[in-house]
Structure 1
């Protein structure tokens, strides 16, 4: 019961943070490891709970009108394919180099966002064209692959990409990134489920609390806007970097 309490409380917090600015995996995955779940089962169980939470966030953001369906309908299949390829690749390719590369990139994202005070505070989206749709599909494919292959910071990279490529504010960027994040999570989840790597006795109660957390986080993001999302985004980006530095050391 104590273990269930720990993973449910931390799962709620993880999903709330993740719905706002990404990075919830920094909380939910360690929670499962903390209570003694073996790493391979922890990864699968976390994907199960996180997928349901990100689905709930996607639906809530969609109902609020923050999801740009004309855009994401093109990106979803690329994200799914990328994630499937990433899961397949991780079985045979070392992630050591990627670990170092991501550390540098996530630090740059956090520092760049802090340095540009107005970045993402206003919606400067000016419509879709063939160029930005192609760029959007390319980053959906590459970040889907990254999420399936490695994972940390995917939400932060997606939000940053939506802001810089399309001019969305942080709330709109977070909303659209949640749809793609759910897609990559679901693609990865299928493989974990196929291989029996989900511990449902922990995964189901954790998922329930993560769904509740995602609802709270999404509503906060919608109501409070970019001024709430941006500082949490910067914080989670730097925490991801700190976690990678710790692992590297």
Structure 2
């Protein structure tokens, strides 16, 4: 029933575990899973769709872990998650009509900008800062923008959610990370729903990778809650720069 051989599956399971850890802490797990899915024979659309399947497990696990740790109230965040879900579907359906080329060209530089911001901005820690938007305005603007991007292209969506929570909602690093996960889960689900209509995801492989993601995400959330900004900030910087470099390499 699996779409790949046993040895290939073991490689994908290992990739899923590591990606789950990275996503739970700072995002960027797709840097690992999408290239490996491509190497195992998936076409680009299948790889992206399968990545959404396994990413659901990691994001969901991390969201629950942070909620149990008292860093986020998932029930209060449910309306924003529904907005992210709907926006992601809209973004995925707009792929065929919107000119995404220019977004791909500026995306690496946006990610490098995010990395520079988190690496150099003074005062960024686990304490909340000045809020520039009310929760209602944030849910009506930042959430659908990030959700639509996740459906439209996807790479770096977690970094954009994080940046929005830190700069606009005024959240500390750990709190921002915790609040990112449910929205990431919702926008992954929306994009997967859209992909399933136009692509052929590797469902069994994606679910198997998702099970491995659960272990990685649980460990990552535990480490992040213990270390806070001390580990989240540097890993976020590294993943943002790595993703930017990969996107630039793909353009060559």
TM-score normalised by L of structure 1: 0.92
Match of 2:230 in 1: 227
Q: Confirm whether residue 143 of structure 1 aligns to residue 146 of structure 2.
A: yes
Instruction: State the Cα distance separating 1:143 from its structure 2 match.
Output: 0.5
Q: Which residue of 2 aligns with 1:49?
A: 54
Query: Secondary structure of the equivalent of 2:128?
Result: coil
Which one of 6, 16, 19 corresponds to residue 11 of structure 2? 6
Change (3 A) 1:222 1:44: same
Matched, 1:161 2:157: no
Aligned ranges 1:115-194 → 2 under 5 Å: 115-119=120-124, 121-125=125-129, 131-194=134-197
Are residue 242 (structure 1) and residue 245 (structure 2) matched?
yes
Match of 1:66 in 2: 71
Alpha-carbon distance between aligned partners in 2 of 1:205 and 1:87, rounded to the nearest angstrom: 24
> Could you tell me the TM-score, scaled by structure 2's length?
0.91
| 1:100 and 2:97 aligned | no
Tell me how far apart the structure 2 counterparts of residues 193 and 220 of structure 1 sit (CA, whole Å).
34
Q: 1:206 aligns with which of 206, 209, 217?
A: 209
Give the superposition deviation at 1:234.
Answer: 0.7
Match of 2:3 in 1: none
Structure 2: unaligned runs, 5 residues or longer: 1-5
For 2:199 and 2:113, locate their aligned partners in 1 and report how far apart those are by CA, in whole Å.
37
Q: Which runs of 5 or more structure 1 residues have no equivalent in the other structure? A: none
**In structure 2, C-alpha distance between the alignment counterparts of 1:144 and 1:130, rounded to whole Å:** 18
| Aligned length, in residue pairs | 247
Alignment partners' CA distance in 2, 1:115 and 1:196: 41
State how far apart, in whole Å, the 2-side matches of 1:101 and 1:74 are: 31
Does the Cα contact within 8 Å between 1:123 and 1:167 map onto a contact in 2? Answer: no
Cα gap change, 1:35/1:130 in structure 2, threshold over 3 Å: closer, same or farther?
Answer: closer
CA distance in 1, matches of 2:89, 2:244: 25
- Paired residue secondary structure (1:93): coil
Distance 1:8 1:39 in 2: 19
Superposed CA offset, 1:217-248 (max 9, x none): 11111111111111001111111111111112
Q: In 1, distance between residues paired with 2:15 and 2:71?
A: 27
Give 2:88's aligned residue: 83
Name the residue aligned to 1:31.
36
